[in-house]
Amino acid sequence: MPAELNPTTIRTAPKVVLHDHLDGGLRPQTIIDLARSIDYDDQLPSTDAEELGQWFIESASSGSLVRYLETFDHTVAVMQTREGLHRVASECAQDLADDGVVYAEIRWAPEQHVAGGLSLSEAVDATLEGFAHGVQAASEKGQQIRIGTLATAMRHAARSREIAELAVAYRDRGVVGFDIAGAEAGFPPTRHLDAFEYLRRENFHFTIHAGEAFGLPSIWEAIQWCGADRLGHGVRIIDDLSSSGGTLEERVSSAQLGRLAQYVRDKRIPLEMCPSSNVQTGAATSIAAHPIGLLRRLHFRVTVNTDNRLMSGTTMTREMGLLAEVFDYSWSDLQWLTVNAMKSAFIPFDDRLAIINSQIKPGYTALSV
């Protein structure tokens, strides 16, 4: 008998997250503790963990990416020391493992964590050590998780080449890829072409936040000018698709793909979709109206992600549960989405295959037969 799909059972299913920001996943109590240790607590909107958690969710839900991003001022402020970064990274690994995540790629922008005097390398070292600590703590509880780090450069700044070089320097110590993030409108990915060309010459992997707050030109530049391996969000690829009818069935059968959408699907370019975050920033009007429903049915390589667990008050279990509810997904859909994500990871092919065969497939088989 297949297990019923509910939050308890989904939590036990092996899950993969490719798009999760370290500075968007802090525990509210940790923000308060770290803020006290650096005399920042009087600048927090609340020093009650429950209230602070609510404040993040509400403030991030204005429908604007720019306002959503303003909430990161507080999390970044308490991540300026070795201790802060270590604790946040360790707890991140433990929280994900506790949620049943078996493989995670966690991104953060080292250039935002040097205001307290750390060098870029010291910040990366503290974070990698924190992840290792959290992975070990999870393993002592019988939870197995692997974490890869993505070094993010901020798209409004001008340090992307330097951050790309930092990422490559750490490629054998846990940094598996590169990304650009931040406000999208007005900051096209081609501003950072030099960094992307360098990464390609180094045979390194990168993803680009594109098609979230800006449309098709951003996606087109990310793929055709910059050579992105994956798209962060990519929801607006839906603008290059026409379909008619009211039901999902009718839209699937009438769908016509434009050239860019066709290319993204033909090339199996992974879309790192983050349903709750997309609703908060206005990239989607609701979970039920999220383009992932149609794109999954049209066999785009879609993956499900959390983006910022703190700002969305979410987990991988919750995101999967929301989609299962509105699109009537079964265990086989959740397995398909998870295998898609694992195939799209930036670790070597044989490592990806090992996780699919030793953890993901047996995990879903146990739940679905």
Ligand X SMILES: O=c1[nH]cnc2c1ncn2[C@H]1C[C@H](O)[C@@H](CO)O1
Q: Per CB under 6 A, which region of 54-62, 106-114, 238-246, 287-295 contacts ligand X? A: 106-114
Phi (first) and psi of residue 149, to 5 degrees: -105, 140
Sheet arrangement for strand 271-273: 207-210, 230-233, 271-273, 302-304
Residue with tokens 């993204």: 264
Catalytically annotated residue among 91, 105, 184, 212: 212
Number of other CB atoms surrounding residue 140 within 10 Å: 7
Per the annotation, does 25 bind a ligand?
no
CA 82 vs. chain centroid, Å, equals 23
Q: Report in angstroms how near the CB of residue 244 gets to ligand X at its nearest.
A: 31
Is residue 178 close enough to count as binding ligand X by CB under 6 A?
no
Element of type H or E holding 197: helix 193-201
Q: Which residue's CB is nearer to Zn ion, number 81 or number 312?
A: 312
Please tell me the distance from the alpha carbon of residue 369 to that of residue 366, in angstroms, as a whole number.
Answer: 6
Is residue 23 close enough to count as binding ligand X by CB under 6 A?
yes
Q: Per CB under 6 A, which region of 16-24, 124-132, 196-204, 323-331 contacts ligand X? A: 16-24
Interface residues for ligand X in 263-282 (CB under 6 A)?
277
| Residue nearest Zn ion by beta-carbon distance | 307
Locate the DSSP E strands across the chain: 15-21, 101-108, 146-154, 175-181, 207-210, 230-233, 241-242, 256-257, 271-273, 302-304
Number of other CB atoms surrounding residue 158 within 10 Å: 12
Is residue 99 close enough to count as binding Zn ion by CB under 5 A?
no
Binding mask 292-331 for Zn ion (x = CB under 5 A): ---------------x------------------------
Per the annotation, does 209 bind a ligand?
yes
Q: Report in angstroms how near the CB of residue 56 gets to ligand X at its nearest.
A: 12
Side-chain-side CA neighbours of 96 within 13 Å: the count stands at: 35
Q: Report in angstroms how near the CB of residue 185 gets to ligand X at its nearest.
A: 11
Is residue 209 close enough to count as binding ligand X by CB under 6 A?
yes
Q: Which residue's CB is nearer to ligand X, number 5 or number 109?
A: 109
Number of other CB atoms surrounding residue 354 within 10 Å: 14
Catalytic residue check, 212: yes
Q: Per CB under 6 A, which region of 27-35, 108-116, 125-133, 252-260 contacts ligand X? A: 108-116
Q: Report in angstroms how near the CB of residue 212 gets to ligand X at its nearest.
A: 5
The DSSP call for residue 104 is E
Is residue 308 close enough to count as binding ligand X by CB under 6 A?
yes
Phi (first) and psi of residue 242, to 5 degrees: -120, 145
Is residue 108 close enough to count as binding ligand X by CB under 6 A?
yes
Q: Name the nearest CA neighbour of 111 among 212, 197, 180.
A: 180
Which positions touch ligand X (CB under 6 A)? 21, 23-24, 65, 69, 72, 76, 107-109, 112, 152, 181-182, 209, 212, 277, 307-308
Q: Which residues are annotated as a binding site?
A: 19, 21, 23, 182, 209, 307
Q: Which residues are annotated as a binding site for Zn(2+)?
A: 19, 21, 209, 307
Q: Which residues are annotated as a binding site for substrate?
A: 21, 23, 182
